[in-house]
Homo-oligomer: A and B are copies of this chain.
Amino acid sequence: MCSVFRRSLKRKGLKFTPERAKILDAVLSKQGMFEAEALLFEMRRTGHHVSKATIYRTLKHLLEANIVSEVLIDSKQSHYELSFGREPANYLVCVETDKIVEFSDSQFSKLAENICHKHGFDLINYRFVVYGVSPDARSADEANNEDA
């Protein structure tokens, strides 16, 4: 993976620095989605200090290298996920609890290709996000109603 990033940087005349290596490592260690801030704190915790600005700058490079992709789930902040060599993940989000369930379904890939083809686009990525209310949130609601 490291070499993929190296190549992508080289193509743009950029350097593979220790900071970028540390950030890539941290990203690779993440399971599922993460936020820029979370990455920052985790790196601080494990003694790999890199500035916030560098994290954001490096995430941009990782996006361009298609190693990471941006997942827009809510309007609060950007989420990222490791995406290299994987089918894009799709998400089921509870609007009450913010709980997020990941699911995958290979048919989206074909649908995305069809749409792109129809409009002459080159496909980069796609994402299906479903919003709903989880069973947990429903039970919580009922509990509240009984209180009232």
| Alpha-carbon distance between A95 and B120 when the two chains are bound, in angstroms | 14
Which residues, 60 to 96 on A, are CB-close (under 8 Å) to B? Answer: 70, 72-75, 77-78, 92, 94-95
CB-defined interface of A130-148 with B at 8 Å, one 1/0 digit per residue?
1111110010000000000
| Alpha-carbon distance between A116 and B94 when the two chains are bound, in angstroms | 10
Which residues of chain B are near A101, meaning CB under 8 Å?
119
- A92 near B111 (CB under 8 angstroms)? no
**Closest CB in chain B relative to A10 CB, distance in Å:** 18
- B138 near A115 (CB under 8 angstroms)? no
Instruction: State how many residues of chain A have any CB contact under 8 Å with chain B.
Output: 37
- B92 near A121 (CB under 8 angstroms)? yes
Chain copies in the assembled complex? 2
**Closest CB in chain B relative to A146 CB, distance in Å:** 19
Main secondary structure of the interface of A (DSSP, over half): mixed
Determine which of B72, B105, B138 lies in contact with A72 in the assembled complex, contact meaning CB atoms within 8 Å.
B72
Q: Decide yes or no whether A16 CB sits under 8 A from chain B.
A: no
Q: Decide yes or no whether A34 CB sits under 8 A from chain B.
A: no
- B119 near A111 (CB under 8 angstroms)? no
Which one of A72, A74, A95, A132 has the greatest number of beta carbons of chain B within 10 Å? Answer: A132
Residues of A within 8 A of B (CB): 70, 72-75, 77-78, 92, 94-95, 101, 103, 105, 108, 111-112, 115-116, 118-135, 138
What are 5 A-to-B residue pairs whose CB atoms are below 8 Å? Answer: A75-B78, A101-B119, A112-B128, A124-B132, A128-B128
